[in-house]
Amino acid sequence: MARDAVVVVDMQEYFCRSPHAFMRFMAAIGGAEDHAWYVQRLAGLVIPNLIRLTEQARAHGDVVVVTEFGSRTSDGADLPPWARRHNEWAKTLVGEHMYLPLTDPAARTITELAPQHGDWVVARNSSGPLASTDVVPGLRGAGVRRVTVAGVATDVCVTGWTRELADAGFDVAVPEDACASPLRRGHESAMAAALVTFGTVVPTTAELTHEVSA
């Protein structure tokens, strides 16, 4: 029997809460206006919509995948070059690496979206799933054909997951109002180009009525 899946991308403490180096670094890069937009969008739109999407998915017996990004080594040496560069930039600007080891408590998904019994937790050190996880064969084995991808950051890991799942043969939907990037222009450009190319960009309401209307 065909099933759907919802992938909650990197809604981790250090990507979503202000005290951490990632948030401080992105605030310094983007400025106060972008930082306020990101924080308010997460609290008022992205988190509530992801809660609704995951609750519905569980109620219908669909697969919920919760992803967490970070290094498997304490110094981040196992990260791909782009992420190591980001770490060095952040260390210069705010005194700390922006990407945490997966063992750090702040690398866990925020409480509101914490994985529940039966959810899949996928830890990785790459922006998409193919380089460092076996989630694609897992989804195929579970009978999944259609995947909803949402979370942060829109222009990095949400795009990575969307592109790679689409290339792997899944029908991908991206609810625009359940995604965010620390830089608003990054979110908007990803929605206008990469995500509309590899997935179907929809409002959350369309995903919430998918099972009923299908």
pLDDT tens digits, 46-74: 999 999 999 999 999 999 999 999 999 99
Q: Give 49 or 211, the one with higher predicted confidence.
A: 49
pLDDT for 26 equals 96
Q: How far is the C-alpha of 76 from the C-alpha of 72, rounded, in Å?
A: 7
Q: Please name the amino acid found at residue 130.
A: L
pLDDT of residue 213: 40
Contacts of 53 (CB under 8 A, 6+ apart): 6, 148, 150, 175, 178, 204, 207, 208
Indicate if the pLDDT at residue 21 is higher than 80: yes
Region 144-164: mean pLDDT is 98
State the amino acid at position 23 in one-letter form. M
CATH of the domain at 25: 3.40.50.850
Lookup: tokens for 33: 């206006």
> Count of domains in the chain?
1
Burial 92-111 (b: 16+ CB within 10 A, else e): eebeebbbbbbebebbbbbe
**Phi, psi of 75, deg, nearest 5:** -100, 0
Cβ neighbours of 169 (radius 10 Å): 10
Question: For residue 10, what pLDDT is reported?
Answer: 98
Q: How far apart are the first and last CA of the chain?
A: 14
Instruction: Note down the domain range covering 38.
Output: 3-213
Each residue's pLDDT tens digit, 96-106: 999 999 999 99
| Whole-angstrom distance, CA of residue 71 vs CA of residue 90 | 15
Residue 214 has pLDDT above 80, yes or no: no
Q: What's the pLDDT tens digit per position in 75-98?
A: 999 999 999 999 999 999 999 999
Q: What 3-state DSSP class applies to 7?
A: strand
Q: What is the mean pLDDT of the chain?
A: 95
